[in-house]
Amino acid sequence: MMEILRGSPALSAFRINKLLARFQAARLPVHNIYAEYVHFADLNAPLNDDEHAQLERLLKYGPALASHAPQGKLLLVTPRPGTISPWSSKATDIAHNCGLQQVNRLERGVAYYIEAGTLTNEQWQQVTAELHDRMMETVFFALDDAEQLFAHHQPTPVTSVDLLGQGRQALIDANLRLGLALAEDEIDYLQDAFTKLGRNPNDIELYMFAQANSEHCRHKIFNADWVIDGEQQPKSLFKMIKNTFETTPDYVLSAYKDNAAVMEGSEVGRYFADHETGRYDFHQEPAHILMKVETHNHPTAISPWPGAATGSGGEIRDEGATGRGAKPKAGLVGFSVSNLRIPGFEQPWEEDFGKPERIVTALDIMTEGPLGGAAF
């Protein structure tokens, strides 16, 4: 069973005005927007009054809820069915730690109430496109539709791809059908590998291969051959980067071996108990400094805010996993993008090179990515 609990307003007046301005720029007759969080509790048993009050207290945060009933057409934005958001994982864990074992899972969405003039179906599609990230979220048109978030399905049985019988075309067809985005050389590699093994690949193996080689951080490109004017260079991009350390390794204790590089620090006084005497005192010992670069190019191009945010998270994770662990002190984030072409402020030199449909614009990256990286 699912229970629905209203939450606090989800957008500030500033954010609402920004949205309205974007709708007006797109010539959409949207007059007013109200947005609030909505919480969905998947329960394995009913809650009594005390437990229900406890759950409501847990989910009470942010500004006070509007006293009036929301007006306008409802557009409910939630994580895509079949996924579990970070918020859901944390909130569910907190509920269980508070003794609410009847809660299978908590999830959160944003209910947008849109007051607008007459809109065509195509215009409503434009509105929904502005309100959600199509890579991570979906839009429902009724609160009860959120039950799909908790649906359980039987796993699809493993299927085999008849490479031995149909040859390379079987891999080409599977690549399109499964959305693997394999390159020609990767298809050649798979054909050669499974032909030598004398068996057909299954869909799980192909999915795993595609994910492992998905260019999430563009490392294959960094390791690729570097050819200038038809002449192959002795070093790849990655080898050029590593060459700096190889030629000037001074004061670097470790590089390209662990989750982060370590450079020599200074001696500092630390206050802790001596392991032999148990007495607290200051101890002079070296405090080395970690350095780490996290490339998160592809995720940021697909969805800038969470892409850049998880890039920051990955860097903090790796620094904490080097040696006995380190604490982050400072971070920098850099973006290299095409022409921004700011609406109403396009510059004469800004040629429109276009972009693949699956990624966002350079302007989207520069307006959302830095905020995501800093917000983490």
- In the chain, residues under CATH classification 1.10.8.750 are 168-218
CA-based end-to-end distance of the chain: 33
Mean pLDDT (the chain, rounded): 92
- Give the rounded distance of the alpha carbon of 9 from its chain centre: 24
Supply the Cα-derived Rg of the chain in whole angstroms. 26
| Topology at the third CATH level for domain 168-218 | Helicase, Ruva Protein; domain 3 (1.10.8)
Torsion sign (Cα): 29, 34, 36, 42? negative
**Rounded to 5 degrees, what angle do the CA atoms 60, 376, 95 make?**
35
Residue 53, pLDDT above cutoff 80:
yes
Torsion sign (Cα): 117, 121, 126, 128? positive
C-beta separation of 108 from 85 below 8 A: yes
**pLDDT confidence band for 213 (50 / 70 / 90):** confident
**pLDDT confidence band for 272 (50 / 70 / 90):** very high
Give percent of the chain with pLDDT exceeding 90. Answer: 75
Residue 165, pLDDT above cutoff 90:
yes
Window from 116-130, 213-227, 304-318 with minimum mean pLDDT:
213-227
Residue 285, pLDDT above cutoff 80:
yes
| Residue (of 320, 301, 324) closest to 133 by Cα position | 301
User: What's the pLDDT at 242?
Assistant: 92
Averaged pLDDT for residues 91-112:
97
**pLDDT confidence band for 66 (50 / 70 / 90):** confident
- pLDDT tens profile 103-162: 999 999 999 999 999 999 999 999 999 999 888 899 999 999 999 999 988 888 999 999
**pLDDT confidence band for 296 (50 / 70 / 90):** confident
C-beta separation of 7 from 65 below 8 A: yes
Structure tokens at 36: 């609030």
Q: Are strands 280-291 and 103-116 parallel, antiparallel or unpaired?
A: unpaired
